[in-house]
Amino acid sequence: MTLPFPPVRTPRRVAVVSVHTSPLEQPGTGDAGGMNVYISQTATEMARRGISVEVFTRATSSDQPPVAELAPGVLVRHIPAGPYQPLGRDELPAQLCAFTSGVLRAEAFHEPGYYDVIHSHYWLSGQVGWLARDRWGVPLVHTAHTLAKVKNAALAEGDTPEPRTRVIGEEQVVAEADRLVANTQVEARELVGLYDADPSTVRTVAPGVDLERFTPGSQMLSRAALGLRQDAVVLAFAGRIQPLKAPDVLLHAAANLLRRQPELRDRLVVLIVGGPSGSGMEQPRELRELAGSLGIAGQTRFLPPQPGQALVDVYRAADVVAVPSYNESFGLVALEAQACGTPVVAAEVGGLPVAVSHGVSGMLVSGHRAQDWADALAGVALRPGRRAELAANAVRHARRFSWERTTDALVATYTDAATAFRDSVVRALQEEVAV
Feature table: binding site:
20, 26-27, 31-36, 89, 122, 146, 166, 240, 245, 306, 315-316, 318, 328, 336, 342
Strands across the sheet containing 268-273:
300-303, 268-273, 233-238, 320-323, 344-347, 362-365
Which has the closest alpha carbon to 334: 217, 216, 220, 238?
238
3-state secondary structure of 261: coil
Residues annotated within a binding site for Mg(2+): 315-316, 318, 342
Measured at the alpha carbon of residue 215, what is the angle toward residues 311 and 228, in degrees to the nearest 5?
45
Which residues, 6+ apart, have CB-to-CB distance to 51 below 8 Å? 10, 11, 12, 13, 14, 73, 411
Which has the closest alpha carbon to 348: 358, 339, 334, 360?
358
Residues annotated within a binding site for 1D-myo-inositol 3-phosphate: 20, 31-36, 89, 122, 146, 166
Neighbours of 393 (CB within 10 A): 18
Q: How far from 295 is each of 254, 255, 258, 259, 373, CA to CA, in Å?
A: 10, 7, 10, 10, 18
Residues annotated within a binding site for UDP-N-acetyl-alpha-D-glucosamine: 26-27, 34, 240, 245, 306, 328, 336
Q: How many residues does the chain have?
A: 435
Distance CA 266, CA 275 (A): 26
Question: Greatest CA span in the chain, whole angstroms?
Answer: 84
Distance CA 430, CA 122 (A): 35
